[in-house]
Amino acid sequence: MDLPEGLDWVRGSSAGRAWLAALPTWLTECAERWSLRVGPPFRQAYASLALPAHLPDGTTAVLKLQYPDEESRHEADALARWDGDAAIRLLAHDPGRRALLLERCQPGTPLHDLPPDRALDVVIGLLPRLWRPAGAPFTPLAQEAAGWINRMPRAWERAGRPYERRLLDAALDLLTGLASSQGEQVLVNQDLHAGNILAADALAADRGPWLAIDPKPLTGEREFSVVPMVRGPELGHSPAAVRHRLHRLSTGLGLDPERVRGWTIGHTLAWSVADDTVFPEKIEVVRWLLDTD
> How does DSSP assign 101-136, residue by residue?
EEEPPSS--BGGGS-HHHHHHHHHHHHHHH--B-BT
* Distance of alpha carbon 134 from alpha carbon 137, whole angstroms: 9
User: Kindly report the CA angle at 57 between 53 and 60, in degrees rounded to 5?
Assistant: 30
Rg (alpha carbons) of the chain, rounded to whole number: 19
pLDDT at 15: 87
- Domain edge (last residue) among 77, 103, 129: 103
Q: Indicate the number of domains in the chain.
A: 2
pLDDT at 133: 93
Let me know: does 256 contact 182? Beta carbons within 8 Å. no
| 57 labelled catalytic | no
98 in the same domain as 13 = yes
189 in the same domain as 68 = no
152 in the same domain as 99 = no
122 in the same domain as 93 = no
The catalytic position among 77, 117, 191, 256 is 191
Q: At what angle do helices 165-179 and 280-290 cross, to 10 degrees?
A: 70
Burial 168-177 (b: 16+ CB within 10 A, else e): bebbbebbee
**CATH code, 32:** 3.30.200.20
Q: Give the SS3 label for residue 227.
A: helix
Task: Report the mean per-residue pLDDT for the chain.
Answer: 94
Burial 97-127 (b: 16+ CB within 10 A, else e): bbbbbbbbbeebbbbbebebeebbebbbebb
23 in the same domain as 142 = no
285 in the same domain as 224 = yes
117 in the same domain as 96 = no
pLDDT in tens, 178-211: 999 999 999 999 999 999 999 988 765 567 789 9
DSSP 8-state symbol, 161: -
* Distance of alpha carbon 265 from alpha carbon 147, whole angstroms: 16
- Domain edge (last residue) among 74, 103, 132: 103
Which domain covers residue 234, as residue numbers?
109-291
246 in the same domain as 190 = yes
* Distance of alpha carbon 53 from alpha carbon 121, whole angstroms: 32
**CATH code, 131:** 3.90.1200.10
pLDDT in tens, 50-62: 999 999 999 999 9
149 in the same domain as 97 = no
* Cut 0.85: pTM above it: yes
142 in the same domain as 97 = no
43 in the same domain as 149 = no
pLDDT tens for the 293 residues of the chain, in order: 778 888 888 888 888 889 999 999 999 999 999 999 999 999 887 889 999 999 999 999 999 999 988 889 999 999 999 999 999 999 999 999 999 999 998 888 999 999 999 999 999 999 999 999 998 999 999 999 999 999 999 999 999 999 999 999 999 999 999 999 999 999 999 999 999 999 988 765 567 789 999 999 999 999 999 999 999 999 999 999 999 999 999 999 999 999 999 999 999 999 999 877 899 999 999 999 999 75
- Domain edge (last residue) among 76, 103, 130: 103
Cβ atoms within 10 A of the Cβ of 200, count? 23
269 in the same domain as 143 = yes
pLDDT at 206: 65
